[in-house]
Chain A
Amino acid sequence: QKEVEQDPGPLSVPEGAIVSLNCTYSNSAFQYFMWYRQYSRKGPELLMYTYSSGNKEDGRFTAQVDKSSKYISLFIRDSQPSDSATYLCAMSYQAGTALIFGKGTTLSVSS
């Protein structure tokens, strides 16, 4: 079993839809949880960063961490064609350590 599981999709939605992306993980020692957006041939861009459990909201994006279920989610409201990209979840055990990534979910938002 991989440490971080993420459905690669692809996921196709119409403009304005609410998008739900998620990852599961196996190691309860993870404490830092991140969501990155990656456009083709570009490096990952940090979207959301959460320490431990809870919710975090930033504009159209909401990140949720449920450590009891080992499950994290990213919600995108009012999705736009410019949101079309690959979304990567990432996590780490402690501050200063490298990230362990999910495989990424490819999202396509059609206008």
Chain B
Amino acid sequence: GAVVSQHPSWVICKSGTSVKIECRSLDFQATTMFWYRQFPKQSLMLMATSNEGSKATYEQGVEKDKFLINHASLTLSTLTVTSAHPEDSSFYICSAGTARNNNQPQHFGDGTRLSIL
């Protein structure tokens, strides 16, 4: 069964809305979670690395004020897309690994399809 749960699976909202996506590790404690973005027919691109209890590390070109990441517990990380615009429409996927295995291998959630009108 799924070891990483992501919610919601699909969001459609108006431009300017803020959207929160949740990523939960179901049966293990995830000290590190990763957030990826995938455009149609493209591969997954890392957006940020989320460490429990500390600030996220963002990849070059990813606006940290636009994509707010919170990792308040060992089983939950959230990504909030603030003031979303049509160009933010994409497939957002989180992954997690357990520190017991040095975060390898990583398991992925089922993704959130975000459509901004």
Known interface pairs A44-B44, A44-B93, A101-B43. Does A96 touch B103 (Cβ–Cβ under 8 Å)?
yes
A82 to B: closest C-beta gap in Å: 18
Contact with A along B83-105 (1 / 0, CB 8 A): 00000000101010101011111
Residues of B within 8 A of A (CB): 4, 6, 32, 34, 41-46, 49, 91, 93, 95, 97, 99, 101-111, 113
Cβ of A43 under 8 Å from chain B? yes
Contacts of A97 in B (CB 8 A): 103
Contact with B along A75-111 (1 / 0, CB 8 A): 0000000000000100010011111111110000000
Please measure, in the bound complex, the distance between the C-alpha atom of A42 and the C-alpha atom of B107, giving whole angstroms. Answer: 13
Known interface pairs A36-B108, A41-B111. Does A103 touch B43 (Cβ–Cβ under 8 Å)?
yes
Task: Enumerate 16 A-B pairs (CB-CB under 8 Å) in ascending A order.
Answer: A8-B41, A32-B104, A36-B108, A41-B113, A42-B110, A43-B4, A43-B110, A43-B111, A44-B93, A44-B108, A46-B106, A88-B44, A96-B32, A96-B103, A99-B46, A99-B106
Interface contact B109-A34, CB-CB below 8 Å: no
Contacts of A36 in B (CB 8 A): 108
Contacts of B45 in A (CB 8 A): 101
Interface contact B43-A104, CB-CB below 8 Å: yes
A100 to B: closest C-beta gap in Å: 8
Instruction: Identify the closest chain A residue to B51 (Cβ).
Output: A96
Known interface pairs A96-B102, A99-B95. Does A43 touch B42 (Cβ–Cβ under 8 Å)?
no
A51 to B: closest C-beta gap in Å: 8
One of B6, B42, B104, B108 near A92 (C-beta < 8 A): B104
Interface contact A102-B43, CB-CB below 8 Å: yes
Known interface pairs A49-B104, A103-B43, A104-B43. Does A96 touch B97 (Cβ–Cβ under 8 Å)?
yes
